Amino acid sequence: MTSGSDAFHSLLNRIASCEAVIGIVGMGYVGQPLALRCSEKGFGVIGFDVDADKVARLNDGVSTIEHIDEALIAAANHRGMRCTTDFAAIAQCDAVLICVPTPLNKYREPDLRFVTDTCEAIAPYLRPGQLVSLESTTYPGTTDEEVAPRITSSGLVVGETVFLIYSPEREDPGNVAFTTHTIPKVVGGATAKCLEVGKALYGQIIDRIVPVSSTKTAEMTKLLENIHRAVNIGLVNEMKIVCDAMDIDIFEVIEAASTKPFGFTAYFPGPGLGGHCIPIDPFYLTWKAREFQLHTRFIELAGEINQAMPRYVFDKLVLGLNAEGRAVRGSKVLVLGIAYKKNVDDMRESPAVAIMELLRDHGAELAYSDPHVPRFPKMREHRFDLSSVALTPDTLARFDAAIVATDHDAFDYAMIAEHASLIIDSRGVYRDPAANVIKA
């Protein structure tokens, strides 16, 4: 039987020599860049995903994410990276990095099924001398309370024969200024030895490691990062509503405030929050806080404001159509951009989808144009049988209104302004007053 000391030193040696095999569970927006970086640094890589179609495409060298170049996938495959749906291959891995979704259920409570199901799927194949790292965003205590019991169900001992860490992902899809390896990596270990192994692994693939005292500290760090953004975006969204009522351009206000060289950080309003982290993470903390009889009123208020923004945009459309003697029902409405932010194909928690659902529920004839999303994707909770329409003067002329929901650089905004009869601008694209533009 492998002793704890043997398992520890053997794993450190395999990591130091880049002989270790890294398993990435969840080959999505977090897992794929991480897998590519591990492969680039010389590690063997096995990607795991329950989506057989995605696995087949990646094995064929086809990128499933727009901003990831297929040449990078092909190069990693040439170096030996492979993907599979068979969790038995976990036994071949020296490190298992879990990068699965952590959504909310219909009650806005944490849904950890992807994490717990993954742990139960890998548990039968874990062996002494492996590292398990949870990267999925979650509430403090998840690694200790949910992951640890599952990965030790066969008799492994955390800190002796298996090494457990929490290291939150910090990917920002489409952000060319930062890549996987240039974003500092927070690492918290379940024990001192776990932390040492985690630092050794991530130190090989990430430029800067930020060790913290526990997995709970690392979990809370990720929540603070995203709650900071959610609260400030909620503030600026509320300021937008106030400025609109006072006939003040919120974007001009932000630009002026940004000239202060200290004490101010610019955040920009929009149609709501999107992406997998910012709209969800605050509710992970508010839920966990209730266990301690704490009520996070400030965070919850920001969440209420941000969740209300799609309705605010929709109401602006109603006012615009009413001014022309039209109802929403029967009106033809074109949504411009349905990804959650500009210049990416990422649809997770996109506020544009909430706007589309309001339009559909109120009887509008709906279409969308998005060069990054040619067809509305399969989503767990949202379904539209739609494909992107070409954005041309003739197309715009067929619609009663166009809503700028995502401000992609590919859009010709001057052409849109010239040919759209009514524009609802939720992103501050049109700064100068225009008869056919309503700021939302």
**Residues taking part in catalysis:** 277
Burial classification of residue 183, based on how many CB atoms lie within 10 Å of its CB (0-12 exposed, 13-18 middle, 19 or more buried): middle
CA angle 97/103/108 to nearest 5° reads 150
One-letter amino acid at 386 equals L
Return the closest-CA partner of residue 341 out of 431, 270, 429, 412. Answer: 270
Tell me if 154 sits within 8 A of 173, measured CB to CB. no
Helices 297-323 & 215-245 angle (0-180, nearest 10): 40
Q: Do residues 22 and 200 lie in contact, with contact meaning Cβ atoms separated by under 8 Å?
A: no
Cα–Cα distance list, 230 to 102, 254, 301, 350, 400 (Å): 17, 17, 10, 14, 33
Cβ–Cβ < 8 Å for 94, 130 = yes
Query: Can you tell me the distance from the alpha carbon of 287 to that of 289, in angstroms, rounded to the nearest whole number?
Result: 5
Rg over CA atoms, the chain: 24
Q: CB–CB of 157/4 below 8 Å? A: yes
Strand order in the sheet with 44-48: 82-84, 44-48, 21-25, 95-98, 130-134, 162-166, 185-189, 209-212
Give the three-class secondary structure for 334. Answer: strand
Amino acid at 94: D
